[in-house]
Amino acid sequence: MGGTGRADVTIVGGGVIGLSTAVVLAERGRRVRVWTRDPAERTTSAVAGGLWWPYRIEPEALVGAWSVRSLEVYEELAADPEHTGVRMVEGVHAKIHLDSLGPWAARVRGLRPATPEEYAGGGLWARLPLIDMPTHLAWLRERLLAAGGTVEERTVRSLDEALGAAPCVVNCSGLGARHLVPGDGVRPVRGQLVLVENPGIRTWFTAADAASATLTYLLPQPGHLVLGGTADDGDWSLEPDPAVAAEIVERCARVRPEVATARVVGHRVGLRPARSPVRLEREARDGGRVLVHNYGHGGAGVTVAWGCAEEAARLVAEAAT
């Protein structure tokens, strides 16, 4: 999986943003190497709930296009869920109305108001990609290797270090950008999840208040049901809080009472790399070197991953012409 050969492009960061970007570039003929501090299964991406939806991410004018492009890719990948980890699953976003969404919503096939039988409190029904992130990340890595890319576990101390090894670097470092681009403003938004044995729930459910740090969602993933969650801005703790876990289960049980007695099988905590807005731009460096930034996607990294990967690849290509 490691590689010592010369690369055209070094990707710094091995989460869903970094691996998706690496795949796009490698499949377009670039010699790509990923430098990642942690293996994919230990990145923040591996902890994500995995439901496609543009959530707490800016700029809205660009996010819509990135999200829709990613949706198109996931719809194709859902034909092989065992390998890609992508399934199309029905569910309800509580208390969201179509007229509150941007133009991108018109591109989501079948998106409509929920019926009282689907959710009495009102909201939107949708059939969306629900992605088992550990499976998907492993598949991305294998797809990259098949395209000739390499992955090396390596802590990058500076972007200059990466630029010294390749003429082009794409910075997909997530929260690591705090150290690589000091003062840029990327910050953690802590998310805590509870995993329980699934009592038979086949549809997902979300209820989010943009002004609140508490979320309610149920996501049926293979082998378990994911219950969430939290959005604690600026909180760096990676330790699960038992009191918060109990509150999460209680909130979810108000939606689906059978959850109250489901056996807990695990806890997860992840730090979303948030920035307002996402940084996706090219920066010229001395000696003709090129640095492309692609970070700060918060909790919507999987939602925009392919759209942002293709935009980053375009920026790389423009720099080479």
Tens of pLDDT, residue by residue over 64-122, are: 999 999 999 999 999 999 999 999 999 999 999 999 999 999 999 999 999 999 999 99
Q: Which domains does the chain have, with CATH numbers?
A: 9-247+269-320 (3.40.50.720)
Sign, Cα dihedral of 227, 233, 235, 241: negative
Q: Residue 98: what pLDDT?
A: 94
Would you say residue 191 has pLDDT above 80? yes
Q: Are the C-beta atoms of 298 and 257 separated by less than 8 Å?
A: no
CA distance 106 to 94: 18
Question: Residues 281-311: pLDDT tens digits?
Answer: 999 898 889 999 999 999 999 999 999 999 9
Maximum Cα–Cα distance across the chain: 63
pLDDT category at 321 given cuts 50, 70, 90 is low
- Is the entire prediction scored with pTM above 0.85? yes
**Helix and strand numbers, DSSP H then E, in the chain:** 8, 14
Calculate the CA dihedral of residues 223, 92, 256, 204 and round it to 10 degrees: 0
Q: What are phi and psi of 126, to 5 degrees?
A: -155, 155
Would you say residue 223 has pLDDT above 90? yes
CA distance 161 to 266: 38
Q: Which of 7, 22, 10, 105 is nearest to 308 (CA)?
A: 22
Q: Residue 320: what pLDDT?
A: 67
In the numeric block, which tokens belong to residue 177? Answer: 């950008």
Would you say residue 24 has pLDDT above 60? yes
Would you say residue 1 has pLDDT above 60? no
